[in-house]
Amino acid sequence: MSGSVNLLHLSQSSYSTLLFNRSKFYQGLYALPTMKIYAFCFSKQMQTTSYEVVNGSYLETSHSKQENKTKDTTPVTSDMVGAFQKLPMVMPSIDIYYSALRKARRVSPTKGIANAAKREKNKGAKQLDALMKELTLPLKIYKEKFPNKKHLHPYERSLVELTLGDGNYEEVLGKVDSLRKKLVSVGKEHASLCAQSSTKREAEERLAEGIKRLEEIFHSDGKAVDELMQIAKSLRAMPVVDLEMPTLCLVGAPNVGKSSLVRILSTGKPEICNYPFTTRGILMGHITLSYQNFQVTDTPGILRRRDEDRNNLEKLTLAVLTHLPTAILFVHDLTGECGTSPSDQFLIYQEIKERFSTHLWIDVVSKCDLLQESPVFYVTEDSEADHSELLKYRKMGPEGAIRVSVKSQVGINELKSRVHKLLVSQSARLNIQQPEVRTTISPPRKTFL
Ligand SMILES: Nc1nc2c(ncn2[C@@H]2O[C@H](COP(=O)(O)OP(=O)(O)O)[C@@H](O)[C@H]2O)c(=O)[nH]1
Ligand SMILES: [Mg+2]
């Protein structure tokens, strides 16, 4: 799948060419996962630095005083999606370090200090203070701008868990914040020590020691920043969903013909949405009817098994159905071609139907060009054990199911007309007025249903 990101297997790149002359730092830090080089932008706040080393004594700045006052004002749980698109760009840790060091080195002593020792200790304390601030400011921004997982829309929360694994997002954010706190404390301590030096030489040594110590900390713990950068990239790549747009979600076992139907129901060419944890993309199509836009989306197949055994693809299907307002088009393949026996499909169907009983629903029996007179039995199935409901299912699918074939086009017009009605009902349910201009994954396309 193109565009996929695996946090553990990051691809190699020419990044190392940038790291020329940074060997010491590089060797330790970039024994970490190698990574692609990403464009990054940095907000203006990155440049702001205030110094308050007055007459050689180190004072806490207003910025660090404010730090403790920052309160989390995010609402408890968001009813909006789109949080991933607002994540800040994260700089590679090595760039943060060298940019901070460069800026700190440029800091000069306060004007008018005639005594050489006093001038040196003033310069040293200011440079250490600047280094600490330049290192911690981006980390502080990340802490503020990466939302707390529990404040995310439940759908996006599921995606965080599916993409990164349970607890990883919070863990990495926690590590970045611990790094920030450590740098603040060590930076202050060394700036203060430097400010108390009694000779020029001592001040020079304390400055060098302070820089070395901050570098060591960044060197050992900075990988959390690089992990955060990968997390942001991975989440940002997630398809954007529109909660207000009526959506038809195709559900069923693997290979039953869902993607083929999405293609046939979509206006224009459906695009492939790459969720970072899927090996195959998921088709997302659009339908425009009477100036109203609808989405039709494929889901990865569901198998007959317990929830705890489900893979991420199945969990994604369940997350879509649980958290997004969708109508369901359930696809049944009774031909024996798809690899899931009709009796297993029946059980999956019953489970999903029970779980999502309030969803608007259409049943489709697919590939009817291949259907024979007598129902198909898998060798693993016990035909004797069939109860009347299952026997009926094997022949016709659930009651009211439409028989269709993408190959012979049988039933396709009836399906389109049923889908049309269903989406209109879904729209009424969502009780929305279609705005004139709407931001969607892709622009509306011509009507065809
Ligand atoms: N004969 C026949 N084959 C079909 C039909 N619809 C889909 N297929 C085939 O069934 C296989 C699985 O289809 P696909 O749409 O990828 O299923 P999905 O995994 O549920 O998305 C593919 O080889 C399709 O060409 C149909 O109406 N008739
Ligand atoms: Mg498919």
Output the domain CATH number for residue 48.
Answer: 1.20.120.1190
Contact (CB, 8 A) for 276 and 4: yes
Residue 366 in contact with ligand 1 by CB distance below 6 A: yes
Same domain, 309 and 181: no
Residue 336 counted as domain residue: yes
Contact (CB, 8 A) for 438 and 292: no
The alpha carbon torsion through 112, 116, 117, 119 (nearest 10 deg) reads 30
Q: Tell whether pTM > 0.75.
A: no
Same domain, 391 and 337: yes
Separation between Cα atoms, residue 157 and residue 324, nearest integer Å = 12
Q: Write down the residue that tokens 């693997």 correspond to.
A: 254
Residue 441 counted as domain residue: no
In the reported structure, the alpha carbon of residue 403 is separated from the centroid of ligand 2 by a whole-number distance in angstroms of: 19
Separation between Cα atoms, residue 110 and residue 216, nearest integer Å = 28
- Coil, helix or strand at residue 262: helix
Same domain, 19 and 75: yes
Q: Which of 250, 259, 260, 410 to mutate to test the pocket of ligand 1 (most atoms within 8 A of CB)?
A: 260
The ligand minimizing its distance to the Cα of 368 is: 1
* Number of domains the chain is built from: 2
**Ligand 1 atom with the shortest distance to the CA of 253:** 20
Same domain, 301 and 230: no
Same domain, 162 and 294: no
Residue 438 counted as domain residue: no
Same domain, 170 and 281: no
Residue 293 in contact with ligand 1 by CB distance below 6 A: no
Residues 6 or more apart in contact with residue 389 via CB below 8 angstroms? none
Same domain, 419 and 331: yes
pLDDT digits (tens, 9 = 90+) for 32-81: 333 332 222 222 222 233 333 333 333 334 444 444 444 545 456 777 88
Q: Measuring from atom 4 of ligand 1, which residue has the nearest CA?
A: 367
Q: Which domain holds residue 97?
A: 15-236
Same domain, 363 and 413: yes
Same domain, 258 and 224: no
Residue 278 counted as domain residue: yes
Q: Which of 214, 236, 258 is the last residue of a domain?
A: 236
| pLDDT value of position 350 | 96
Residues of the chain falling short of pLDDT 50: 1-70, 72, 74, 433-449
| pLDDT value of position 133 | 98
pLDDT digits (tens, 9 = 90+) for 127-176: 999 999 999 999 999 999 999 999 999 999 999 999 898 899 999 999 99
Separation between Cα atoms, residue 98 and residue 20, nearest integer Å = 12
One-letter amino acid for residue 272 of the chain: I
Same domain, 189 and 278: no
Residue 258 in contact with ligand 1 by CB distance below 6 A: yes
Same domain, 31 and 121: yes
14 φ/ψ angles, rounded to the nearest 5 degrees = -85, 20
Residue 148 counted as domain residue: yes
Same domain, 198 and 323: no
Here the CATH number for the domain that contains residue 365 is 3.40.50.300
